[in-house]
Structure 1
Amino acid sequence: MGKAELVLDVKAMLAEGPNWDAENSILQWVDIPAGRIHWYNPSDGSDKYHEIGQFLGAAVQDTRGKMILAAQHGFYRYDPDSRLLEPLADPESHMPSNRFNDGKCDRKGRFWAGTMHMNGDSPTGALYCLHPDLRMSKLLTGVSCSNGITWSPDQRLMYYIDSPTRQIAAFDFDVETGTITNSRTVVEIPSDEGIPDGMTSDMEGNLWVAQWGGWRVSCWNPSTGKRLAVIDVPAALVSSCTFGGSGLDELYITTARMGLDGEQLRKQPGAGGLYRYKAGVRGMPSNRFGD
């Protein structure tokens, strides 16, 4: 068991979607309700952001210097230099109470992102895959709160979280076609430990899962369903995590302060901050969108 340290006391409403840019040694993350993309530089502690004017669930880099966003009103391409926001696809324009939430790219440069009802309590969401040629596939329906997505080191399995189920599902994954089959539950989160949120995996194939309301990130072996470690976080609403640093052995953890009252915030002044834990294992790298 270990404890995460606060490295950026930014007091975000709902920090999410951390991605490590290995080329520039920058951690990119989003504040969902603020509609902000952040870039945190661990070398000097600086953090800058751009605001896009709508809820922002996830943001990934592409291979051409731009970014691909999963936002309140669909997929967009964003140019950080010109700040031009270009709509790409809005698969749920007929569902104004839905928005995109968590998302991540696979090794072939496809962007996987899911939706949820704004209240998070209705199974109206879905899981989508945006291909590098901008084709879009719908992979799952009946989702309540689409969250963590990650893959096994050999790319033969995809793991996925629909938070209210308190489960991590595994799918057989075809890396060439981007199809998923044979869903089964591999991990169940105890009911008194919050709900599973964002997730990443290490090079040993273990899953690192943020537990919203649980004050922790837990490491799980998906082959056995057993917990291997607990990382204490001094904030209740732990939202996501990813590996970063020069050795990809530092776990960056995002948290939230949304919905906390004054007394709760006094007990967790770092809520909404960015935390780091030296995990001692190497994580899988973040992928970019495109071929």
Structure 2
Amino acid sequence: MKTIDAQVIYRTQAIVGEGSLWDHDNQRLLWVDILAHKIYAFDPKTKSNMGFDIGQDVGTVVLTESGLWAFADQDGIGYLNPKTGKIKSGPKPEVNSPNVRFNDGKCDPRGNLWAGTMAYDVSEGAGTLYEFDSLGGVNKKIERCTISNGLVWSSDRTKFYFIDSPTYVIHQYDYDEFTGEISNKKVVAGISKEIGLPDGMVIDSEDHLWVALFYGGKVIRIDPKTGKIVYEVALPVPNITSCAFGGEDLDELYITTASHMMDKEGLEKYPLSGSLFRVKVPFKGVLPHKMKNHF
């Protein structure tokens, strides 16, 4: 199995960098710093990193067909106009749950945003994976999660993959593109606790899964047909949170990291914690789905 090294592309000390997503139309990376309340747009050509303060914890960001950015914040979703900085509120299913916040999320092939929650104290079973549709509807997809995290859909739109981090497994569901229903849950890969906690996830054009390993210092590529790790990207920091394919040819892997809960000694040992990284890989990604919206 081959291992290659990622290089820092933007040095910063994000608390919890997350939610990386490639904006192909503008050739930039969208990402968030959850606990700093920030959504960022990083331009790899100019190395600029434009930030927007959402005013509360923000778990993920996705593109919409209208050009707005949809995001999952502490208690629901909202929409940001990146040209004006104005925010429009969306459905807030967790408005009465101050101990819970939204975490990772992505758009499905139907143009709906799926985003999940977790408790601040990581209480077991306190999280829910929600689906937000373009008309303001909210559906519960998976209940009693602990840390709702990485999620992707297969290229033929028949499979949905999901990570509830403390289970240390990747679950596969059958996915119905016409109804959005998921069924027939099964484990397709297990992650050894010794190599790290599975966090964010992205899928490539060969339907292999790339999983960021918190505490593990790497991103692993998994063949869901065998459950085996077939490729690795190593980083000089321990807490890897998400990854996204980008670049003109979608053959560059962008990776977010975290400095959260690291003490002074840890930050001195791993001074690049919280930075953005990038590596060119011999594989290609796929474009992320955009959210449909009615405004």
Same structural fold, with TM-score higher than 0.5 when normalized by the shorter chain: yes
The AA in structure 2 aligned to 1:3 is D
8 Å contact from structure 2 (residues 75, 97) kept in 1? no
Instruction: Tell me how far 1:72 sits from its aligned partner.
Output: 0.4
2:203 matched to which residue of 1? 201
2:159 matched to which residue of 1? 157
Give the whole-Å Cα distance in 1 for the aligned partners of 2:12 and 2:288.
23
Match of 2:259 among 235, 257, 260: 257
Q: Which runs of 5 or more structure 2 residues have no equivalent in the other structure? A: none
In the alignment, structure 1 residue 99 sits paired with structure 2 residue 122: no
Question: Which range moves more in the overlay, 261-270 or 156-165?
Answer: 261-270
Write the mapping of 1:16-35 to structure 2, written as runs, cut at 5 A. Answer: 16-35=18-37
1:133 matched to which residue of 2? 135
Match of 1:10 among 12, 32, 35: 12
- 1:120-159 CA distance string (max 9 Å, x none): 2331110001112221111111010000001111111010
Give the whole-Å Cα distance in 1 for the aligned partners of 2:207 and 2:83.
37
Give the whole-Å Cα distance in 1 for the aligned partners of 2:186 and 2:75.
31
The sequence identity of aligned pairs, in percent, is: 38
The AA in structure 1 aligned to 2:170 is I
Instruction: Tell me how far 1:20 sits from its aligned partner.
Output: 0.3
1:90 matched to which residue of 2? 92
Write the mapping of 1:1-291 to structure 2, written as runs, cut at 5 A. Answer: 1-290=3-292
Question: Which range moves more in the overlay, 157-166 or 276-285?
Answer: 276-285
Instruction: Tell me how far 1:37 sits from its aligned partner.
Output: 0.5
Question: Which range moves more in the overlay, 248-257 or 70-79?
Answer: 70-79
Q: Give TM-score scaled by structure 1 length.
A: 0.98
User: How many pairs align?
Assistant: 291
- Aligned to 1:192, the other structure's residue is in SS state helix
Q: Which runs of 5 or more structure 1 residues have no equivalent in the other structure? A: none
Instruction: Tell me how far 1:82 sits from its aligned partner.
Output: 3.0
- Aligned to 1:264, the other structure's residue is in SS state helix
The AA in structure 2 aligned to 1:197 is D
Give the whole-Å Cα distance in 2 for the aligned partners of 1:267 and 1:62.
40
- Aligned to 1:89, the other structure's residue is in SS state coil
- Aligned to 1:266, the other structure's residue is in SS state helix
Which runs of at least 4 in structure 1 moved beyond 3 Å after TM superposition? Answer: none
- 1:159-194 CA distance string (max 9 Å, x none): 000000011000001112111111111111001112
Give the whole-Å Cα distance in 2 for the aligned partners of 1:240 and 1:65.
23
Instruction: Tell me how far 1:73 sits from its aligned partner.
Output: 2.1
Give the whole-Å Cα distance in 2 for the aligned partners of 1:160 and 1:154.
16
Q: Give TM-score scaled by structure 2 length.
A: 0.96
Give the whole-Å Cα distance in 2 for the aligned partners of 1:126 and 1:51.
25
Instruction: Tell me how far 1:16 sits from its aligned partner.
Output: 0.2
Instruction: Tell me how far 1:262 sits from its aligned partner.
Output: 1.2
CA RMSD after TM alignment: 1.0
